[in-house]
């Protein structure tokens, strides 16, 4: 009863700090909307062009963010090694497709090889991620939260070291198999690469969301995320379910890795740090643990970066990171649970 | 009611279970025969829930053994024990709050492949608890305590158990719901399911039971026919509030 009473009291009287918080939120939203609107009006074509670039990158972020969110959802671990797994996958795809198969120029045969290596890289990512969980995280499942977290940081260094030994310390250029062709649509320029990114990432995102939401395995994953003991009582093999989750997360990182190597055109041992941070930001922005949130967060971060870097009137590229993290900090102030995060209370 | 003269379904022999340095159950032995309702009663911390969790494979005994229909099940992981036919409606209900009632029930039948048979069980559960049918698409976490308890029992029944383990099914419920839960336990038994029950509500648990065991700080203190223990003055004084 008391909690109900205070709840009503709180609703009636908004404190000054809360009021200021709200006003500032509308101010921030207003400024951003004005900035975007202004750019849209002065040069609509450039605006749309920049938007397409943003979505292009955002889809890649979404794939990586999915891995953060899946793993967080099921064992409440921020897997700091995930960005480096993405890096390792991009290096793997480079080693197999470019060096081993020698696919260094556009062509039908090389394009077919790309699809084969896409599959291989996803399998590679899945296997590495499952192994990481098996070797490093599983035995710490009942340990205090800090232990697996630090282990994840350590694992991130291990993967970076492997990447360093694999491709060296200097970024390596990848001779992409994707042609540099550009298509014109109503005055907009869309690169062939962008189509490939759309064609690869969107089905994978849909597939993974489908697996989690509609299949028996996915139901076991969601049950395990909510209550591990109760899941065992349902007959769910909890360890296997967690491994499966890591496999999906790894496969998504694999797809993102090869797409990055082929569209951006460089691989480097320290790629995982920055991309991991951005993807992690995306996951938190969308509400960590929420699949749609990861996709939405990835797209938003991609768009923020693109608008910041590419709009006619804007802060420009050197503010790119600052912008992304400022938006994250602001969002955490106004909506700590993320855009689609769980904020409603459950009855116990 | 008196002990049934049927084959032993569950045989717990001399188990010792603990959490780290704390021993919660010390050398406990008991058995459940086919078709029976067996109650475990005792005060808080007597080791009742620990015993049930050990049978279900959520914990493993340090010593002793557990046999289900002649097969050793101690040391098996929980999901394999469910496959043997032991379903557990745990203490505190432990339903999946962010899933619908429907999905919770489906999870109860997670290991069953025969979808026609699952549909039948579902129908039976919804007949047993018509309330769940009304709430079928609702998120389980938003239901009342009584409804959540019905869901927890219904979900366990979805596994078509041979042995149903119920931990505190009446905890926190209004008296009228408590009666309903106990009636339901009888109904479930009549449908051929053997029941192992742990209850705070000792009197009701003894009345309904064929046989009962009284636990005290991890030991077996007393055992006997449920109806006899229900009128035993020593029991009345210790567990039935006078």
Read off the CATH number of the domain in which B233 is found.
3.40.50.300
Is the Cβ–Cβ distance between B155 and B104 less than 8 Å? Answer: yes
d(CA A148, CA A77): 7
Characterize A223-238 residue by residue with b for buried, 16 or more Cβ atoms within 10 angstroms of its Cβ, and e for exposed: bbbbbbebbbbbbbbb
Rounded to the nearest integer, the mean pLDDT of chain B is 93
d(CA B13, CA B68): 11
Of B105, B115, B101, nearest in space to B156 by CA: B105
Chain A residue whose CA is closest to B59: A229
Q: Which residues on A lie below 8 Å from B97 (Cβ)?
A: 226, 346-347
Q: Which residues on B lie below 8 Å from A231 (Cβ)?
A: 107
Per-position DSSP letters for A59-107, written without gaps between them: HHHHHHHHHHHHHHHHH----TTHHHHHHHHHHHHIIIIIIIS---S--
Instruction: Give φ, ψ of B165 to 5 degrees.
Output: -100, 125
Residue range B131-187, pLDDT digits in tens: 999 999 999 999 999 999 999 999 999 999 999 999 999 988 888 889 999 999 999
* B positions 47-66 inside 8 Å of A (CB): 56-58
Rg (CA), chain B: 17
The beta strands (E) that lie in chain B are given as: 8-19, 22-33, 37-42, 63-68, 71-72, 86-89, 163-167, 194-198, 211-216, 219-225
| Amino acid A11: pLDDT | 54
| Amino acid B238: pLDDT | 75
Average pLDDT over residues A229-242: 96
Chain B residue whose CA is closest to A225: B96
Q: Which residues contact A233 (CB under 8 A, 6 or more apart)?
A: B56, B58, B78, B82, B87, B88, B90, B94, B156
| Amino acid B234: pLDDT | 81
CA distances from A74 to A122, A125, A127, B18 (A): 20, 18, 18, 27
* B positions 86-105 inside 8 Å of A (CB): 87-88, 90, 94-99, 103
Chain A residue whose CA is closest to B164: A233
User: What's the sign of the alpha-carbon dihedral A243, A245, A249, A255?
Assistant: positive
The CB density around residue B7, as the number of other CB atoms within 10 Å, is 10
Q: Which residue has the higher pLDDT, A335 or B16?
A: B16
Q: Which residues contact A260 (CB under 8 A, 6 or more apart)?
A: A60, A86, A90, A267, A271, A275
d(CA A265, CA B94): 50
d(CA A58, CA A51): 10
Shortest Cα–Cα distance, B148 to chain A (Å): 10
Residue range A59-106, pLDDT digits in tens: 999 999 999 999 999 999 999 999 999 999 999 999 999 999 988 888
Residue A162 CA from chain centroid, whole number: 22
Is a pLDDT exceeding 80 seen at residue A9?
A: no
d(CA A209, CA A62): 12
| Amino acid A336: pLDDT | 83
Question: Looking at the 3D structure of chain B, how many domains does it have?
Answer: 1
Shortest Cα–Cα distance, A219 to chain B (Å): 8
Is the Cβ–Cβ distance between B151 and B143 less than 8 Å? Answer: yes
Cβ-nearest to A236 among B56, B103, B110: B110
Cβ of B143 within 8 Å of Cβ of A347? The answer is yes
Rounded to the nearest integer, the mean pLDDT of chain A is 90
d(CA A182, CA A299): 22
d(CA A217, CA A220): 5
Cβ-nearest to A223 among B87, B96, B156: B96
Tell me the sheet residues that pair with B25.
B17
d(CA B239, CA A65): 55
CA distances from A26 to A35, A38, A77, A324 (A): 14, 18, 33, 19
> Element (H or E) spanning A245, and its range?
helix A238-263
Of B236, B155, B74, B65, nearest in space to A235 by CA: B155
Residue range B76-96, pLDDT digits in tens: 999 999 999 999 999 999 999
Average pLDDT over residues A125-154: 95
User: What's the sign of the alpha-carbon dihedral B190, B191, B195, B201?
Assistant: negative
Predicted confidence band of residue B233 (pLDDT cuts 50, 70, 90) = confident
| Amino acid B240: pLDDT | 62
User: What's the sign of the alpha-carbon dihedral B44, A345, B125, A210?
Assistant: negative
Is this prediction's ipTM beyond 0.85?
Answer: yes
Q: Kind of pairing, strands B22-33 and B219-225?
A: unpaired
Does A146 contact chain B (CB < 8 Å)?
no
Tokens representing residue A287 in the block: 């509400």
Shortest Cα–Cα distance, A346 to chain B (Å): 6
Is the Cβ–Cβ distance between B76 and B65 less than 8 Å? Answer: no
Residue B93 CA from chain centroid, whole number: 11
B2 within a domain of the structure (yes/no): no
d(CA A256, CA A93): 10
Predicted confidence band of residue B43 (pLDDT cuts 50, 70, 90) = confident
Q: Kind of pairing, strands B163-167 and B86-89?
A: parallel
Selection from A119-133, A298-312, B218-232 with the highest mean pLDDT: A119-133
Is a pLDDT exceeding 90 seen at residue B200?
A: no
Please give the angle made by the CA atoms of B227, B233 and B234, to the nearest 5 degrees. Answer: 105
Predicted confidence band of residue A5 (pLDDT cuts 50, 70, 90) = very low
d(CA A221, CA B240): 43
Shortest Cα–Cα distance, B110 to chain A (Å): 6
Tokens representing residue A145 in the block: 């939260």
d(CA A261, CA A259): 6
B161 lies in which domain range? Answer: 8-239
User: What's the sign of the alpha-carbon dihedral A233, A236, A239, A243?
Assistant: negative
A82-93 helix and A146-167 helix, angle to the nearest 10 degrees: 20
The CB-side HSE value for A276 (13 A sphere, CA atoms) comes to: 23
């Amino acid at each position: 009863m008391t909690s109900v009473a205070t709840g009503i009291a709180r609703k009636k009287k908004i404190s000054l700090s809360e009021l200021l918080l709200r006003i500032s939120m509308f101010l921030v939203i207003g400024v951003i909307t004005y900035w975007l609107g202004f750019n849209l009006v002065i040069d609509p074509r450039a605006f749309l062009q920049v938007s397409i670039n943003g979505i292009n990158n955002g889809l890649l972020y979404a794939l990586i963010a999915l891995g953060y969110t899946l793993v967080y959802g099921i064992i409440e671990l921020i897997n700091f090694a995930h960005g480096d797994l993405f890096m390792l996958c991009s290096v793997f795809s480079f080693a197999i497709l470019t060096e081993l198969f020698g696919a260094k120029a556009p062509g039908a045969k090389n394009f077919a090889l790309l699809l084969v290596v896409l599959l291989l890289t996803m399998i590679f990512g899945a296997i590495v991620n499952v192994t990481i969980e098996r070797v490093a995280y599983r035995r710490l499942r009942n340990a205090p939260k800090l232990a697996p977290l630090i282990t994840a940081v350590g694992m991130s260094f291990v993967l970076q070291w492997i990447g360093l030994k694999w491709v060296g310390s200097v970024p390596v250029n990848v001779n992409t198999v994707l042609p540099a062709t550009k298509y014109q649509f109503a005055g907009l320029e869309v690169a062939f690469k962008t189509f490939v990114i759309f064609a690869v990432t969107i089905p994978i995102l849909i597939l993974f969301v489908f697996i989690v939401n509609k299949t028996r395995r996915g139901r076991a994953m969601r049950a395990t995320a909510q209550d591990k003991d109760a899941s065992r009582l349902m007959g769910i093999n909890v360890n296997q379910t967690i491994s499966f989750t890591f496999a999906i997360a790894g496969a998504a990182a694999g797809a993102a890795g090869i797409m990055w190597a082929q569209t951006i055109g460089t691989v480097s041992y320290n790629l995982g740090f920055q991309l991991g941070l951005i993807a992690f930001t995306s996951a938190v922005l969308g509400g960590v643990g929420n699949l749609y949130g990861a996709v939405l967060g990835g797209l938003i971060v991609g768009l923020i970066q693109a608008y910041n870097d590419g709009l006619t009137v804007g802060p420009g590229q050197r503010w790119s990171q600052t912008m992304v993290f400022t938006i994250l900090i602001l969002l955490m102030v106004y909506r700590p649970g993320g855009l689609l995060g769980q904020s409603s209370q459950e009855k116990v | 009611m008196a002990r049934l003269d049927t084959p032993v379904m569950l045989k717990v022999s001399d188990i010792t279970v603990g959490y780290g340095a704390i021993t919660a159950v010390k050398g406990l032995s008991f058995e459940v025969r086919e078709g029976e309702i067996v109650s475990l009663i005792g005060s808080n911390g007597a080791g009742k829930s620990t015993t049930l969790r050990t049978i279900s494979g959520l914990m493993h005994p340090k010593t002793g053994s557990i046999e289900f229909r002649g097969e050793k099940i101690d040391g098996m992981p929980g999901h394999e024990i469910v496959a043997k036919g032991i379903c557990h409606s745990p203490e505190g209900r432990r339903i999946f709050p962010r899933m619908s009632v429907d999905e919770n029930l489906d999870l109860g039948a997670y290991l069953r492949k025969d979808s026609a048979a699952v549909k039948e069980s579902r129908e039976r559960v919804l007949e047993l608890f018509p309330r769940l049918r009304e709430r079928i698409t609702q998120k389980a976490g938003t239901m009342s305590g009584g409804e959540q308890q019905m869901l927890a029992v219904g979900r366990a029944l979805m596994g078509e158990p041979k042995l149903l383990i119920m931990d505190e099914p009446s905890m926190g419920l209004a008296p009228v719901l408590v009666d309903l839960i106990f009636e339901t336990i009888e109904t479930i038994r009549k449908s051929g399911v053997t029941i192992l029950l742990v209850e705070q509500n000792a009197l009701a648990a003894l009345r309904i039971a064929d046989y009962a065991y009284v636990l005290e700080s991890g030991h077996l203190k007393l055992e006997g026919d449920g109806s006899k223990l229900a009128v035993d003055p020593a029991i009345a004084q210790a567990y039935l509030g006078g």
